[in-house]
């Protein structure tokens, strides 16, 4: 029930708003404890790996990355010796349990045999060597995260013993544009715990290889993203009999989505009473706070025509919160990823809400700017990119909620759940105040 946008002159040129497969792979690997990375690539690719670590805010003492720094002669003659030497040196220096040997575009194209190298060196090193081909041409950030998860799947051991009955794996919390996404992970763990459900394994965030290897014992998998991970969840079910639950629900963003999510979870784990308690206390928290501190959001936001420019995880969840709860009109939805599952989920949600905004998936910077310019909008929910585009277009209100954000975030703030809603509303309110305050003092008005 949405109006899919079409763009001219965009078939061959792309102004990316997400990284490449290497960043996606790094974003997965960086979530595992006690590992190191030997990067077989020219040195610039190390910055892309650093972005993966940045997204986890990994303490610098835990970033153990070495790069073969390939140059022209290496490309022409091959660089197996260089790779071999660096693996040995890195193993002796880093002393990690597992070492990912990551090949990027260059190593991938010239056909460096990193699997063979890992096999032949394995007896000589302490770390378990895991080769990963991560050429950026293999896809975008989300494709890379899928690639990373498929590599982790090889660590998952077949179930050896009884299945756990109240235990879940959480999938890809880092595939989210919340700048402090780990707060969402913490929220999810908290509500699971309240329902007597253990978080068995997170794929991955400060997760150990041992935890991953035992993931097949979990009762179910739960997505914390709608942008990727679908192949992984299918394979986990097929190979290890772990089903994915709540997959057809928007993530717990806003009152209704959160209560739906909690109810479905409670129902699955026979903890509906706990779910209802969480819902009641959460909704009370939100309304009490807003009554005291946010009453004016009602006249402010009502019937404001807005755009959301984000990933599928946030966009699908926000639509209902903005439309039903804040009484805004989401007129434009711009989604950075383009999975079929997310498209289906958004379609279903828009049908339920009875609205038909204009929508585009897999957007780039040009499409974002063109779409925003073409619409008459009161406000944009987006990142720093959208903030600067809005400035140029003259759209006064741009809420800087998502990555890359221009806000400094010292405190972790969930976007999921009831406090998450308050956190987002706080950012929106502050951005509103800052945007609409006069920027200059008209001194002449004060002259006697």
CA 398 to chain centre: 21
Instruction: Determine if 31 is a binding residue for another protein (CB under 8 A).
Output: no
> If binding is defined by CB under 8 A, does position 391 make contact with another protein?
yes
Q: Is the CB of 153 or the CB of 366 nearer to another protein?
A: 366
CB closer to another protein, 179 vs 250: 179
- By CB under 8 A, tell whether 55 contacts another protein: yes
- Strand 198-203 and strand 167-171: pairing? parallel
By CB under 8 A, the count of residues binding another protein is: 78
Q: Does 126 sit near another protein (CB under 8 A)?
A: no
Does 88 help bind another protein (rule: CB under 8 A)? no
Shortest Cβ 314–another protein spacing (Å): 14
The single residue among 2, 64, 186, 263 that binds another protein, judged by CB under 8 A, is 64
User: Could you give the residue ranges of the DSSP H alpha helices within 230-338?
Assistant: 230-240, 255-268, 272-293, 297-301, 312-320
How far is residue 290 CA from its own chain's centroid?
28
Sole residue written with tokens 């997400």? 18
- What is the arrangement of strands in the sheet containing 65-67, beginning at the earlier edge strand? 65-67, 35-40, 98-103, 128-133
Residues 90-119 that bind another protein (CB under 8 A): 90, 93-94, 104-106, 109-110
Instruction: Return the range that interacts with another protein (CB under 8 A); candidates 64-72, 187-195, 299-307, 430-438.
Output: 64-72
Residues 133 and 105: beta-carbon distance below 8 Å:
no
Decide if residue 196 touches another protein (CB under 8 A): no
Choices 134-142, 196-204, 319-327, 345-353 (CB under 8 A): range interacting with another protein: 134-142
Residue 74 sits in the site that holds another protein (CB under 8 A): yes
Q: 88-127: b or e for each residue (b if 16 or more CB lie within 10 Å)?
A: eebbeebebebbbbbbbbbbbeeebebeebbeebeeeeeb
Binder to another protein among 312, 317, 369, 418 (CB under 8 A)?
369
| 71 near another protein, rule: CB under 8 A | yes
Q: Which residue from 404, 430, 434, 436 is in contact with another protein, where contact means CB under 8 A?
A: 404
Of the candidate residues 392, 430, 434, 436, the single one contacting another protein (CB under 8 A): 392
Which position among 408, 438, 445, 447 is part of the footprint of another protein (CB under 8 A)?
A: 408
Position 146 contacts another protein (CB under 8 A): no
Buried b (16+ CB within 10 A) or exposed e, 389-409: bbeebebebbbbbbbebeeee
Asked if residue 379 lies in contact with residue 398, where contact means CB atoms within 8 angstroms, the answer is: yes
């Amino acid at each position: 029930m949405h109006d899919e946008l079409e763009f001219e002159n965009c078939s061959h040129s792309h102004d990316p708003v997400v990284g490449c497969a290497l960043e996606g792979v790094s974003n997965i690997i960086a979530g595992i404890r006690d590992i190191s990375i030997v990067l077989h690539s020219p040195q610039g690719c190390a910055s892309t790996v650093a972005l993966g670590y940045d997204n986890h805010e990994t303490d610098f003492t835990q970033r153990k990355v070495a790069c073969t720094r390939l140059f022209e002669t290496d490309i022409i003659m091959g660089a197996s010796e260089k790779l071999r030497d660096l693996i040995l040196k890195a193993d002796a220096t880093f002393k990690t349990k597992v070492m990912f040997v990551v090949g990027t575009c260059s190593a991938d194209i010239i056909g460096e045999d990193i699997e063979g190298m890992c096999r032949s060196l394995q007896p000589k090193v302490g770390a378990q060597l895991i080769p990963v081909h991560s050429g950026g041409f293999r896809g975008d950030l989300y494709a890379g995260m899928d690639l990373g998860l498929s590599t982790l799947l090889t660590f998952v051991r077949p179930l050896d013993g009884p299945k756990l009955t109240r235990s879940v794996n959480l999938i890809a919390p880092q595939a989210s544009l919340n700048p402090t996404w780990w707060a969402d992970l913490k929220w999810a763990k908290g509500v699971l715990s309240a329902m007597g459900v253990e978080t068995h394994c997170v794929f991955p965030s400060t997760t150990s290889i041992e935890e991953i290897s035992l993931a097949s014992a979990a009762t179910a998998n739960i997505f914390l993203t709608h942008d990727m991970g679908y192949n992984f969840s299918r394979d986990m079910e097929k190979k290890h009999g772990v089903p994915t639950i709540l997959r057809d629900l928007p993530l717990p963003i806003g009152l209704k989505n959160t209560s739906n999510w909690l109810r479905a979870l409670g129902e699955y784990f026979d903890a509906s009473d706990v779910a209802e308690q969480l819902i009641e206390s959460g909704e009370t928290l939100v309304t009490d706070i807003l009554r005291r501190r946010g009453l004016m959001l009602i006249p402010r936001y009502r019937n404001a025509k807005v755009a959301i420019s984000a990933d599928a995880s946030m966009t699908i969840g926000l639509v209902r919160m903005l439309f039903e709860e804040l009484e805004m009109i989401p007129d434009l939805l711009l989604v950075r990823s383009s999975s079929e599952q997310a498209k289906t989920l958004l379609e279903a949600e828009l049908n339920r809400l009875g609205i038909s905004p204009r929508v585009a998936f897999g957007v780039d910077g040009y499409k974002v700017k063109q779409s925003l310019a073409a619409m008459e909008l009161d406000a944009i929910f987006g990142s720093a990119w959208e903030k600067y585009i809005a400035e140029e277009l003259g759209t006064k209100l741009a809420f800087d909620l998502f990555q890359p954000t221009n806000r400094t975030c010292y405190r972790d703030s969930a976007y999921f759940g009831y406090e998450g809603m308050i956190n987002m509303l706080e950012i929106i309110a502050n951005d509103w105040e800052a945007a609409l305050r006069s920027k200059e003092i008209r001194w002449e008005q004060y002259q006697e």
